[in-house]
Amino acid sequence: MAGVIALVAVIVALLATGLGRDPSVIASPLVGRAAPNFTLPQLDGPSVTLSKLRGQIVVLNFWASWCTECQVEQSALDRTWQQFQDSGVVVIGVDFEDTAGDARNYVRTANVTYPVVEDAGARAALAYGLRGVPETFVVNRSGRIVSHVVGPINAARLGNEINTMLDARSR
C-alpha cells in the first residue's frame, strides 16, 4: 500500500513540475550551440551572411506576412532595432513560407525598418528547427545561440537580455 502511495506521489510531482513550465519556452537543442550559418537575399538589398555579423548581437526573428502573431510583435522588434542598432545589435527578419510580393507589401505598409531576408525553400528555418512563426533566436557576439522564444517576443525581456550582454562586454 505504501508503495502505491509513493508511486502516485511521484507521478503527481512530475505532473506538477510540467504544469509550472512556460509553454512559450521550448527547449531548443540549439541553445548554447553555434548558430547555423546562412546567406539569404534581402527583400530589397544585398544578401546577408550570418557569419559576417560575428562580433555583433543578432536578433533573428522568423516571421511571415500572413502570421497575425508576427504583426503583434513587429513594433517591439522595430523598437529594439531603433534602440540598439548603434550599440552593435542587429535585428534580422527571416521571411518564412511566404511570397516575396506579400512580404514586400507588409514591410512597406507596416514600416518595418530592420533588414528582412527571404528564406525560400526554408533551408534556414529547418536548420534552426523551426516549428512555426513567430520564433526568435538571440545570437551572442561569438555566434552562439543564447535564447529561443516561441511566439511573440516580450520587448522588455528582449531589451533586458540585450542590455545584460552589452553590460557584460563593457565590464
Partner 1 sequence: MKPGGVLKQARTSAPGLLVLIALVVSVATLTIVAVRGHPPVSRAQQVQQIAAGLHCPICKDLSVADSPAPLAQQMRQEIASKLGAGESADQIRADFVAAYGDSVLMSPPRQGLAGAAYYLPWLVLASGLIAAGVLLRRWLRASPPDQAGPVTSELSEAQLRTVANAVAQLRAEEPG
Closer Cβ to partner 1, 2 or 27, answer by number? 27
Shortest distance, position 49 Cβ to partner 1, whole Å: 19
Closer Cβ to partner 1, 66 or 110, answer by number? 66
Sites of contact with partner 1 (CB under 8 A): 27-30, 33, 36, 97, 121-123, 125-132
Cα separation, 126 vs 117, in Å, equals 15
Cα separation, 23 vs 38, in Å, equals 28
Closer Cβ to partner 1, 127 or 165, answer by number? 127
Shortest distance, position 34 Cβ to partner 1, whole Å: 10
Beta-carbon-side half-sphere exposure of residue 105 (alpha carbons within 13 Å): 8
Closer Cβ to partner 1, 143 or 159, answer by number? 143
Residue 97: CB atoms within 10 A of its CB come to: 16
Shortest distance, position 74 Cβ to partner 1, whole Å: 22
Shortest distance, position 33 Cβ to partner 1, whole Å: 8
Question: Shortest CA distance to 149 belongs to which of 61, 88, 19, 67?
Answer: 61
Q: Say which DSSP state 36 is in.
A: P
